[in-house]
Amino acid sequence: MIFAANFKTNHTRKSTKKYIETLLTKIIAKKEGDKVYIFPPATALDQFCGDVILGAQNAYMAQNGAFTGEIGLEQLEEFEIKTILIGHSERREILGESQTFIAEKFAYFQSHGFEIVYCIGEPLEVRQQGQHSVVEYLLSQFEGIDTSYEKLIVAYEPIWAIGTGRSATLEEIGNTHEALKKTLQKPLLYGGSVKPENSKEIIAIRGVDGLLVGSASLDAENFAKMITD
């Protein structure tokens, strides 16, 4: 199983360090083979010893250069970061990243051998149209993406379930993962209002290879609970 924590715009450099220290003491009990990823804000990127993989929530597709407000490869290399989240719905919707732009970013980090956690997810109006529309919508989010990339992990995060406290039902997750797995032989995470109260039943669903957790991951003990329960 893969357990990934997306801090979004939460935590500081100082609190991230403390968080990882706490988490490491708690996840000694994790199952062999399980992998833990932390995506802190860019200001908290650093090198940590221990059984967690640190990734970037975002970066620009350049070594360095004139891209005000962005970080590039050079800033990630300083901390040996080799994992990145691409395509998160908040970047698509709030930051206006288009599929073309996302695909370019994907190709760039693929060419640099990054492990890529690629996020997809449908808005509520698509979910309301039924499962067929959902799958069609999700598959369209792979336009321009090399789905055969060996270091690709996909995260299915229905937009209406993110930060709302309302996770998709077990049936919705199961059906969607099953449909995606027909065209995608990659690890597939679920994200969207995952918390200790529902994590166990979600990871038990066939086709779910792990979790991408936002709000409920911000507390190290809470996140550790989802990993070790």
Q: Cβ of residue 193: shortest distance to ligand 13P, in angstroms?
A: 4
Please state the closest distance from residue 194 (CB atom) to ligand 13P, in A: 5
132 is catalytic: no
Active site residue 178: no
* Binding test (CB under 6 A) with ligand 13P, winner from 213, 220, 224, 226: 213
Q: Is 212 in the site for ligand 13P (CB under 6 A)?
A: yes
- Contact 153/186 with Cβ under 8 angstroms? yes
Task: Tell me the two tokens of residue 119.
Answer: 């996020």
In the structure encoding, which two tokens stand for residue 38, read together? 């932390």
Instruction: Write the interaction track for ligand 13P spanning residues 75-94; mark x where CB under 6 A is met and - where it is not.
Output: -------------x------
Is the Cβ–Cβ distance between 229 and 199 less than 8 Å? yes
Could you give the angle at which helices 196-203 and 170-183 cross, rounded to 10 degrees? 40
156 to 175, contacts with ligand 13P by CB under 6 A?
157, 162-163
The answer to whether 6 contacts ligand 13P (rule: CB under 6 A) is: yes
The structure tokens 């919705």 sit at 172
| DSSP state letter for 177 | H
Q: Which of 55, 174, 210, 214 binds ligand 13P (CB under 6 A)?
A: 214
Under 8 Å CB-to-CB from 44, ≥6 apart: which residues? 7, 11, 12, 13, 15, 16, 17
- Contacts with ligand 13P by CB under 6 A lie at 6, 88, 157, 162-163, 191-194, 212-216
So which residues are the catalytic ones? 88, 157
